[in-house]
Structure 1
Amino acid sequence: MGRVTSAAPATADRELDELPRQTEDLGTRPGPVIPEPVFGATDRGRGTLVGIIITLVAALTRFWGLTQPTDGGTPVFDEKHYVPQAWQVLTGGQWIEDNPAYGLVVHPPVGKWVLAAGEAMFGYGPMGWRFMSAVCGVVIVLAIYLSVRRLSRSTLVGAIAGILAICDGVLFVQSRMGMLDIVQTAFVVLAFAALIADRDQMRARMHRVFLDGRIDDSPFGPRFGFRWYRFAAGVMLGLACGTKWSGLYYVIFFTVLCLGFDVAARRAYHVKRPWAGVLRRDVLPAGLSLAVMPVAIYLASFATWFASESSVYRYVVGTEIGSGGTFSWVPAALRSLWYYEAGILDFHAGLTNSAGNHHPWESKPWTWPMSLRPMLYAVEYGPDQCGGADCVRGQMLIGTPAMWWLAGPMILWALWRIASRRDWRYVAVLVAYSAGILPWFAELDRQMYFFYATVLAPFLVMGLALACGDILRAGYRARRPDRRTVSVLIVAFYVTLVIANFVWLWPILTGSPISDLEWGRQMWLPSWT
């Protein structure tokens, strides 16, 4: 059996710096065609240095002026829900929300534990409320950089993604708010990064098996063994579900994505029965890691609720619900939790426009990709805000237009690459992006807000960065200096435009004092006001 590499000259899996030096048509070698043995960017030293710089810049932007704005020293917007809940979790003695004044607690505890960690370090103040959100924001930027670097096999393209992530208004503002969405987004992005690393690791194992001549030992292909990256993804998905229920969407979408990777790997290395191989050897362990594991972690997040004598609805069997019936065999603790969660579901189901629930800043999911209806988190008017001159201090959650207004073209380009080149990178990004938006179209009557789109931002950034990489690759492959120069200039201009757009929006992203005139200039669309 020939020891070959690849016949795919159009593949996007090469480091940009190596492209000009490719002169051999690898497809002319004898034997069956298999993918190139490139499983990530090869410049580890440079990649590490760039990652450190990206992380430091992200930390600087996220932590600078973190204690502003406030509502007279108190939390702003939905911080008013989660900040005191986190404090009660921290100070209640049992790591649960058992204060009867809260009534029904509508989100699982993991995100509030994360916020409570910051309050434990810095107390009940703005730094304590927001410290862990800022940490999550930095982690997200680093995870985006690492994911795109692996997707593109290029440190340069990864760096572009890191810069775009730093300059995105949604990721920036949510990183500076004591809310749950940025925490969930961090877990989702880490799960995605783990699945991309798992794909590379499994392909590397498959490649070794192929070169050793053992690919035909079984018509179903080799067994992959225990997959730590996939296990880590399952843990992250469990924590995402333990932060907000919408993490369930990612459990479903990412499980399908992982199995799709496995089918593609077995087909790429000429396994005789790839689909049957996945059914026999991958479905069960994938389900255990990516479906069962998140459920187990979700239940484990309620361990303190199970253990407490004062947990809300902990002992409803025999009072609120009967002790007999069809499900009497289920432990009373789990039946109580089911009753509790059913109440949460009823609460969310009742937050509908048809039931008379309206909010001046609510939005529907078709407006999210272009950030057409942002959110006003805090605003103060008057001369006392600017040392005697009339001005405004307002903070808005708004996506950087230079990126968010290109969501549609990015999706179309991704679909074209998938249809014409079978580009797996865009499949991964679109699956993740879809998990964050498509399920919301099933319940359009419900109250929704733009901050639900926080989890879309990382995958928008990844798609745009990959598109920039495609432009650069097209220039390098042209083998003409003028084409290379034009491609570099296009990407450099775009990245500069994003940075300039972010700087322009800085006052309304941070709540800095500006004049009424300047505030009006910041409001580009009528729907922003």
Structure 2
Amino acid sequence: MMRPPNQIRDPFGLTVLLAATFAALAFIRLRVPSAPYFDEVHYLPAARALLDQSAWLNREHPLLGKELMALSIGVVGDTPLGWRILSLAAGTLTLFALCRTVWFTTCSRFASMAAGVLLSTGFALFIQSRIAMLDVFMACFTAVALWQVAGAMREPEAGRKRLAIAGVALGLAMASKWNAVPLAVIPGLGFLLLRAMAGRRRLVTSRRGMPVPGITLAEAAVWLGLVPLAVYWLTFLPVYFVADQPLPIGGFLALHQQIEALQASVTKSHPYQSCWYDWMLNIRAIWYLYEPVDGAQRGIMLIGNPLTMLLGLPAMAWCAWAGITARRWDALAIFVFFAASMVFWMVADKPVQFYYHYLLPGCFLLGGLALALDEFWKRGIRWLPLAVLAGSIALFIWFYPIMSAAPLSGVSAFEKWMWLPSWR
């Protein structure tokens, strides 16, 4: 008798373990500094005002991130833990969801776990998971949406439920920060393109063919089009009822013109500002904190992992090449999401930009690197992927003190991490 084929085991348990380890490391000194730092000084007052419905502050961004901070403050308390604990939860879920996305996309245990290691040691996700800012919430809901879309394609029997969750998550991502907008349209457009490629005669009403058998294009338009817009609008309900200058009935569309104008109005230069090519070359850091605080000299520097963020560039080029020439749809999808998230910043009318805007593109970049390493792994060249992963972990350990606000030896302690003058 013929033996049954070997089944690839789902690395779900390992993914949970990796996410738990990430959360535990990020939780260390989460309450340090004990006072708001960097952009927390903008978002925490806005969250407090939403909590007591007294005012509507920080109008240049959508509401959801500040609403989540308000929820956390209301439940945990107006303390450093209350400010940051949901950021930690969002960052951990981002890591888990992206690992699951890679698994459902590739069915490769190595690619999935390599992506998890690269993301958890890539610096940016770790640092943004420890501060009360909006970007990690946007990244979290985007990652959840991609996980559910990939799961729907792999397991069409659960396609309707997964697409519904994806639609809600896409709306929440846009409601966290507008960076997610160019990415939120891709799942719906991808569904349309793949269904058209399947050659169905009844394009809108057929339930057969890619990408999710059993779901019509019309139904997909509801889950991936109408639901995100409805969820996005619902997140603005609290500001219709604030005491000071509430959002007027019928003023929702005009509000977006105001948000756009406020975004473009910030033209004063900032010592840590940078632009998209600085991010890709990893040459401009941001010091979120460097001062004596809570009894010691401490620092928190945002930069990407010097090894993997640079290796990710040729890996992303390979994703584009493999996707086009070898029809590696997983690689092509990662390249499309990376390119869409980068083009947003190339054309955005926002004169002052910062490295933390690279958080989500950087996640796609590291996902592309994981797929490239998986290609070497499959070809039996295993020393190279293992060396890259070991190098990423080693650099994370080396930079950990200035990512986690650890006590430093003195005011000049930062010098040993300054590999480039532009990191100062």
1:311 and 1:423, CA in 2 relative to 1: closer, same or farther beyond 3 A? farther
Question: Which residue among 5, 15, 34 is the counterpart of 1:51?
Answer: 15
Q: Report the Cα distance in structure 1 between the residues aligned to 2:121 and 2:376, rounded to whole angstroms.
A: 21
The Cα shift of 1:114 comes to: 1.5
Change in Cα spacing, 1:371 to 1:262, as seen in structure 2 (3 Å) is farther
Instruction: Measure the CA separation in 1 of the matches of 2:406 and 2:242.
Output: 46
- Quote the Cα distance in structure 2 between the aligned partners of 1:351 and 1:494: 39
Choose which of 307, 322, 326 in structure 2 pairs with 1:402. Answer: 307
Q: Tell me the residue number matched to 1:109.
A: 63
Q: Which amino acid in structure 1 is aligned with residue 394 of structure 2?
A: A
d(CA) in 1 for partners of 2:312, 2:325 = 20
The question of whether the paired residues in 1 share the 8 Å contact of 2:65 and 2:176 is answered with: yes
1:457 to 362, 367, 370: 362
Deviations 1:114-153 (A, max 9, x none): 2223222321111111000000111111112211122221
Structure-1 residue corresponding to 2:402: 508
What residue in structure 1 maps to residue 421 of structure 2? Answer: 526
Q: Which residue of 2 aligns with 1:234?
A: 167
Tell me the residue number matched to 2:209: none
Shift of 1:235: 0.7
CA distance in 2, matches of 1:444, 1:363: 14
The SS at the match of 1:417 is helix
Give yes or no for contact 1:199–1:261 (8 Å, CA) kept in 2. no
> 1:378 corresponds to which residue?
289
Structure 1 contact 398–509 (Cα < 8 Å) conserved: no
Q: How does 1:123-138 map to 2 (within 5 A)?
A: 123-138=77-92
Residue 297 of structure 1 is matched in structure 2 by 231
Deviation at 1:226, TM superposition (A): 6.8
- Are residues 444 and 154 of structure 1, via their aligned partners in 2, closer, same or farther at CA, if it must alter by over 3 Å? same
1:417 aligned partner: 322
* 1:286-335 deviation line (CA, Å, top 9, x unaligned): 322222211111111122333x26352434xxxxxxxxxxxxxxxxx12x
User: 1:342 aligns to what?
Assistant: 257
* Contact map agreement 1:62 1:138 (CA 8 A) in 2: no
Q: In the alignment, is the contact (CA less than 8 A) between 1:313 and 1:339 conserved in 2?
A: no
- One-letter amino acid matched to 1:43: R
Cα separation, 2, equivalents of 1:396 and 1:345: 29
What is aligned with 1:358?
269
CA distance in 1, matches of 2:415, 2:79: 31
**Alpha-carbon separation, structure 2, partners of 1:189 and 1:134:** 15
Q: What's the secondary structure of 2:155's corresponding residue?
A: helix
Mapped pair 1:63 → 2:27: yes
Q: How does 1:36-47 map to 2 (within 5 A)?
A: 42-44=8-10, 47=11
CA drift of 1:280 comes to 5.0
Contact map agreement 1:167 1:502 (CA 8 A) in 2 = yes
Task: State the number of aligned residues.
Answer: 411
- Range 124-133 or range 431-440, more displaced: 431-440
* 2:210 pairs with 1:249: no
Q: TM-score, normalised by structure 2?
A: 0.90
Superposed counterparts of 1:70-469, under 5 Å = 70=33, 73-90=34-51, 92=52, 96=53, 98-99=54-55, 102=57, 105-202=59-156, 227-264=160-197, 266=198, 273-274=199-200, 276-281=201-206, 282-306=216-240, 308=241, 310=243, 312-315=245-248, 333-334=249-250, 336-352=251-267, 357-380=268-291, 386=296, 392-443=297-348, 446-469=351-374
Question: 8 Å contact 2:121–2:305 — kept in the other structure?
Answer: yes
2:417 is matched by which residue type in structure 1? Q
Alpha carbons of structure 1 residues 360 and 519: separation in structure 2 relative to 1, 3 Å: same
CA distance 1:422–1:226, change in 2 (3 Å): closer
Structure having the higher Rg? 1
Q: CA deviation at 1:494?
A: 1.1
For residues 379-411 of structure 1, what are the alpha-carbon distances to aligned partners after superposition, in whole Å with 9 as ceiling and x for unaligned?
A: 1159x965xxxxx52111111111111232111
Give per-residue Cα distances to partners, 1:71-117, cap 9 Å, x unaligned: xx320010111122222222x1xxx5x427x3x62222211122223
The alpha-carbon distance between structure 1 residues 227 and 519, as it changes in their structure 2 partners (threshold 3 A), is same
Q: For 2:139 and 2:263, how far apart are their aligned partners in 1? A: 20
Q: Residues 420, 339 of structure 1: CA spacing in aligned structure 2 closer, same or farther, 3 A cutoff?
A: closer
| Separation in structure 1 between the aligned mates of residue 150 and residue 390 of structure 2, nearest angstrom | 28
CA distance 1:127–1:523, change in 2 (3 Å): same
Partners of 2:152 and 2:159 within 8 A in 1? no
- Distance in 1, matches of 2:310 and 2:239, equals 44
d(CA) in 1 for partners of 2:126 and 2:353?
A: 21
Counterpart of 1:144 in 2: which secondary structure? helix
